[in-house]
Amino acid sequence: MRTLSRMIAAIGAVSLVAACSGNDGTSGGGYPEQNITIVVPFSAGGPTDTVTRMIADPMAKALGGKVVVRNAEGAGGTVGAGDVARAQPDGHTVLMHHIGMSTAPALYKNLDYQPLEDFATVGLVTEVPMTVVARQNFEPATFQDLVSHVKANAGTVTLANAGIGAASHLCGLLFQSAAGVKLQEVPYQGTGPALTDLVGGQVDFMCDQTTNTSGQISAGKVKAYAVTTPDRVKSLPDVPTTTEAGMPQLRVSVWHGLYVPAGTPPEIVQKLSGALQAALADQAVIDQMAKLGTAPVTAADATPEAHRTHLDEQLKTWAKIIADAGVQAS
Ligand code: ASP
């Protein structure tokens, strides 16, 4: 297996932005008839989990039912996604996933689901910047120092990620490719445990979404070197962009979307999509997201059609990049 660095070199700037299309909301009859479970394919306390818990209650309110969140972590999000692909297509099992939905088919040889065939898209949710962060007492003071330091200490520096194919893994590879270095990577089941170890000083640095690094940065528990978006993140005004810090190739943000198993009645999908749009218009959700460096997508993007178009485009983009690089996760 070759490393993903060639693939990442080919990416250059990766911006994962949603496309737009229309929507029509219809009633889902007696739905929901029981609790709705949103499966998060990463561990609790990570960005995917955080975003899910933010919208769960407002969605429940809009649906007139109860929404519970279940973490089903493992293998870069493929375990939880597989669970939902095989669930009853009745709208009571929903998946929250991110960019990993579009990278996994090319990365994992024995994936037991196909994103476009085995799921119905409900709507996009948000697109989140990433940050390069380190344990608080990591020696480098600036992003430029970080690059020199890891190059000089490539044999000992550790780089955490949330699993193979996770956004943090891709971001870490992009960093290594741009820096021209190969580091020791430490995979976790999600950002939750990875960040815990980073705060505890068990690993040196990582790249992850602002949804979970912002609080640790503000509390002074981790050191922030850069944000991976072209512009600074409003909630982290003192953190330079990777472009300002001299590494414009390290440009990545992470899109999230909701899915149900294929075969779910379209009126139920529309009802879920309407509830998602209601949640994303909720001022408390908008405020919470802003505090964590992100924002809801537009109502037009929180639709099955816009989400499917985006997923289709992303699957093609990543299939080519990954095939060109000739890499596999397992
Ligand atoms: N942020 C993680 C990733 O790197 C996943 C998570 O825990 O939400 O993909």
DSSP collapsed to 3 states, the chain = CCCCHHHHHHHCEECCCCCCCCCCCCCCCCCCCCCEEEEECCCCCCHHHHHHHHHHHHHHHHHCCCEEEEECCCHHHHHHHHHHHCCCCCCCEEEEEECHHHHHHHHCCCCCCCHHHHEEEEEEEEEEEEEEEEECCCCCCCHHHHHHHHHHCCCCCEEEECCCCCHHHHHHHHHHHHHCCCCEEEECCCHHHHHHHHHHCCCCEEEEEHHHHHHHHHCCCEEEEEECCCCCCCCCCCCCECCCCCCCCCEEEEEEEEEEECCCCHHHHHHHHHHHHHHHCCHHHHHHHHHCCCCECCCCCCCHHHHHHHHHHHHHHHHHHHHHHCCCCC
Task: Give the per-residue pLDDT at 107.
Answer: 86
Task: Give the per-residue pLDDT at 26.
Answer: 38
To test the pocket of ligand 1, the residue of 16, 69, 98, 216 to mutate (highest count of ligand atoms within 8 Å of its CB) is: 98
Task: List, chain by chain if needed, residues with CB within 6 Å of any ligand 1 atom.
Answer: 42, 46-48, 98, 162, 166-168, 190-191, 208-209
Measure 167 CA to ligand 1 centroid, in angstroms: 6
Ligand 1 atom nearest to 49, measured from its CA: 8
Ligand 1 atom nearest to 162, measured from its CA: 4
Burial label for 116, CB within 10 Å (0-12, 13-18, 19+), is middle
Measure 76 CA to ligand 1 centroid, in angstroms: 8
To test the pocket of ligand 1, the residue of 53, 69, 209 to mutate (highest count of ligand atoms within 8 Å of its CB) is: 209
Widest Cα–Cα separation across the chain:
63
Task: Give the per-residue pLDDT at 17.
Answer: 27
Ligand 1 atom nearest to 254, measured from its CA: 9
pLDDT tens, residue order, the chain (330 aa): 333 444 444 443 333 322 222 333 334 579 999 999 999 999 999 999 999 999 999 999 999 999 999 999 988 899 999 999 999 999 999 999 999 999 999 888 889 999 999 999 999 999 999 999 999 999 999 999 999 999 999 999 999 999 888 889 889 988 998 899 999 999 998 899 999 999 999 999 999 999 999 999 999 999 999 999 999 999 999 999 999 999 998 888 899 999 999 999 999 999 999 999 999 999 999 999 999 999 999 999 999 999 999 999 999 988 887 777 666 676
Instruction: Give start-end residues of each CATH 3.40.190.10 domain in the chain.
Output: 129-227
- What's the rounded Cα separation, in Å, for the pair 107 and 44? 24
To test the pocket of ligand 1, the residue of 53, 168, 212, 253 to mutate (highest count of ligand atoms within 8 Å of its CB) is: 168
Task: Give the per-residue pLDDT at 326.
Answer: 62
Measure 42 CA to ligand 1 centroid, in angstroms: 6
Measure 29 CA to ligand 1 centroid, in angstroms: 35
- What's the rounded Cα separation, in Å, for the pair 165 and 188? 12
Measure 47 CA to ligand 1 centroid, in angstroms: 6
Q: Which fold has domain 129-227?
A: D-Maltodextrin-Binding Protein; domain 2 (3.40.190)
Q: Which residue has the tokens 């065939």?
A: 117
Measure 189 CA to ligand 1 centroid, in angstroms: 9
CATH of span 33-127+254-325: 3.40.190.150
Asked if 37 and 70 touch (Cβ cutoff 8 Å), the reply is yes
To test the pocket of ligand 1, the residue of 39, 42, 54 to mutate (highest count of ligand atoms within 8 Å of its CB) is: 42
Measure 30 CA to ligand 1 centroid, in angstroms: 35
286 Cβ partners below 8 Å, 6+ apart? 280, 295, 296
For the entire predicted model, the pTM comes to: 0.86
Ligand 1 atom nearest to 191, measured from its CA: 7
Measure 33 CA to ligand 1 centroid, in angstroms: 31
Ligand 1 atom nearest to 192, measured from its CA: 7
Instruction: Give start-end residues of each CATH 3.40.190.150 domain in the chain.
Output: 33-127+254-325
Measure 43 CA to ligand 1 centroid, in angstroms: 8
